Amino acid sequence: MATFYLPATLRALVAGGGDQLEAAGATVGEALRQLERQHPRLAGWVLDERGGLRRHVSLFVNDSLAAPESPLAPGDQVHIVPAISGGAPAAPAASTDAVEVLAGTKKGLFVLRGPRGGRLAIAARRFAGQPVEYAVRDPRSGLCFAAVTHGHFGPHLFSSGDAAAPEDRWEQAAGPAFPPDADATLERIWVVEPGSEDGVLWAGVAPAALFRSADGGRSWELVRGLWEEPSRPRWQPGFGGLCLHSICPWPGEPAKLAVGISSAGVWVTEDAGASWRRGTDGLVARYVPEEARAANISFCVHKLLRAERQPTTLYMQFHGGVYRSDDAGLTWNDIGTGKGLPSDFGFPLALDPRDPARAFVIPLVADVDRVTPEGRLRVYETFDRGGSWQPLAAGLPQQDCYLTILRQAFSQDGGDPLGLYFGAESGDLYASADGGRSWSAAITGLPPILSVRAHRLDGRAAEEAGAAPAPLA
């Protein structure tokens, strides 16, 4: 039997509304006909009267674009997704879902709430006047974490069960902090990432180091294996310093982890951080003279993400290049050159949690300018693992728009259709509730935005945000 994953539109046609169905057949088309017999309301939605695929529908078997005549094997995963082809997208409409967006800015944390696809309101502002480098909610515990860098007193990590709670109800963690023998001082907390084990979180900091918490973020311990990596004395900082900004746990296998460091490259461990391998084969550092590239160890990773449903697949936004790894981060394939991008330089990156073949980037002009190309704000999407890229621009400014979007300022909410959110240094935050087909300004006038993380709200919080309840993402 193969497993078919349905978009929201088709779920409504199936009794029970499930997003997964099983069917067997020698080809995808045969299995789809079986699904039609089992669920008659599906007839005509994916296949037309002659058995062909509807014009605006795409099929993926595992990670490959497929057709009705494509062979199908037991255990295959088939994703049915709306194709990007078609006419102009409809104007964005407010959804019945509600969303909370945590926007870390140079002047505090802004807790934004409202309907998906609609305007967001400021539910709270916390840590006013201080840079909040990163804020995120751990979906397992519900705790929100905020990395705050006080201008006089340095970086500190706080947590609260309610992001809008008064600051005196936020608890300060014991760390991350370097032990005395490390002979280092914490400069900035770049990222906090929930691990694959209950209670485990990871934190990436500057100078480039990894910390682990085993008690839900209350206390932190330096990962010695990476800190004492023999090549460390030769690591070089990027423009933003020597920083560990991307952490990619492996679902269900807590000993496996990949991290991105600017500008020391990608590092992979399979023994919970005791030992590490550098994963830079295939990366081309165009900022280094060609004759010096063979000996180069300065690989300026801008953002690194793992595909949730296919952990061996990782995507990277590089300092000049967009790349994909098919072996968990050890070697890399160029998916940016000549694929339809106006520039392969940029910082942010987002993935569809349900589709390993789908990714999003926001190109910027390299290298000195670092603004949106041609004065046009466009998100670019791939449906085929980087084989091609298409612009998503409906509702975004297309004239005299020169924005910069930083590496942590792009997020998705896990919804179906996928909700996408990004914030600019201008203080403007844009949102899409339909996977990027249409956009709107969710809020404007914030301080420069450093990070954006979104999640859907449940019952009471959704009502307070002005929308009907939606399940937690």
Residue with token string 């809020």? 443
List CB contacts of 230: < 8 A, sequence separation 6 or more.
none
Residue with token string 């942010």? 348
Residue range 183-453 in CATH 3.30.930.10? no
**Average of per-residue pLDDT values in the chain:** 91
**What tens digit of pLDDT does each residue of 1-27 get?**
999 988 877 887 787 777 789 999 999
Residue 461: the pLDDT is: 52
When pLDDT is averaged across residues 18-41 and rounded to a whole number, the result is 90
**What tens digit of pLDDT does each residue of 239-287 get?**
889 999 999 999 999 999 999 999 999 999 999 999 999 999 999 999 8
SS3 344: coil
Residue 470: how many CA atoms within 13 Å on its side-chain side?
A: 23
DSSP codes of every residue in 98-158: EEEEEEEETTEEEEEEEETTS--EEEEEESTTS-EEEEEE-TTT--EEEEEEETTTEEEEE
State the alpha helices, DSSP H only, in 163-319: 224-227
Are 91 and 414 contacting, i.e. CB atoms less than 8 angstroms apart?
A: no
Are 308 and 367 contacting, i.e. CB atoms less than 8 angstroms apart?
A: no
The dihedrals phi and psi of 225, each to the nearest 5 degrees, come to -55, -40
Report the distance separating Cα 320 and Cα 366, nearest Å: 7
**What tens digit of pLDDT does each residue of 360-388 get?**
999 999 888 999 999 999 999 999 999 99
Are 388 and 340 contacting, i.e. CB atoms less than 8 angstroms apart?
A: yes
Q: Using CA of residue 60, residue 63, residue 64, residue 70, what is the dihedral sign? A: negative
Q: Which residues face 323 on adjacent strands? A: 316, 334
Report the distance separating Cα 236 and Cα 292, nearest Å: 15
Residue 463: the pLDDT is: 53
- State the span(s) of the chain assigned CATH 2.130.10.10: 183-453
Structure tokens given for 101: 């967006």
pLDDT over 90 (residue 288): no
Report the distance separating Cα 361 and Cα 349, nearest Å: 5
Residue with token string 């023999």? 230
Are 469 and 462 contacting, i.e. CB atoms less than 8 angstroms apart?
A: yes
Are 439 and 392 contacting, i.e. CB atoms less than 8 angstroms apart?
A: yes
Q: Worst-scoring range by mean pLDDT, 3-17, 219-233, 258-272, 427-441?
A: 3-17
Residue 465: the pLDDT is: 52
The reply to whether omega before 176 is within 30° of 0 (cis) is yes
SS3 295: helix
The dihedrals phi and psi of 459, each to the nearest 5 degrees, come to -20, -85
- Quote the DSSP letter at residue 447: S
Our CA dihedral for 77, 83, 84, 85, rounded to 10 degrees, sits at: 150
User: Over pLDDT 70: what percentage of the chain?
Assistant: 93
pLDDT over 50 (residue 414): yes
Confidence band of 471 (pLDDT split at 50, 70, 90):
very low
Report the distance separating Cα 194 and Cα 171, nearest Å: 18
How many Å is the Cα radius of gyration of the chain? 22
Residue 11: the pLDDT is: 81
Residue with token string 């449903």? 309
The dihedrals phi and psi of 238, each to the nearest 5 degrees, come to -85, -170
Structure tokens given for 119: 């305007």
Report the distance separating Cα 180 and Cα 85, nearest Å: 58
Q: Which amino acid is at 233?
A: P
List CB contacts of 417: < 8 A, sequence separation 6 or more.
7, 8, 433, 434, 435
Structure tokens given for 236: 């070089």
Our CA dihedral for 202, 203, 204, 209, rounded to 10 degrees, sits at: -80
Residue 125: the pLDDT is: 98
pLDDT over 60 (residue 90): no
Residue 410: the pLDDT is: 98
Residue 9: the pLDDT is: 73
Calculate the alpha carbon distances from 135 to 87, 165, 225, 352, 365 in Å. 37, 14, 27, 20, 27
- Quote the DSSP letter at residue 92: P
When pLDDT is averaged across residues 93-118 and rounded to a whole number, the result is 87
**What tens digit of pLDDT does each residue of 162-178 get?**
999 999 999 999 999 99
Residues, the chain:
473
Q: Worst-scoring range by mean pLDDT, 51-60, 70-79, 414-423?
A: 51-60
SS3 42: helix
- State the span(s) of the chain assigned CATH 3.10.20.30: 2-82
Residue 460: the pLDDT is: 47
Question: In CATH, which superfamily holds the domain spanning 2-82?
Answer: Beta-grasp domain (3.10.20.30)
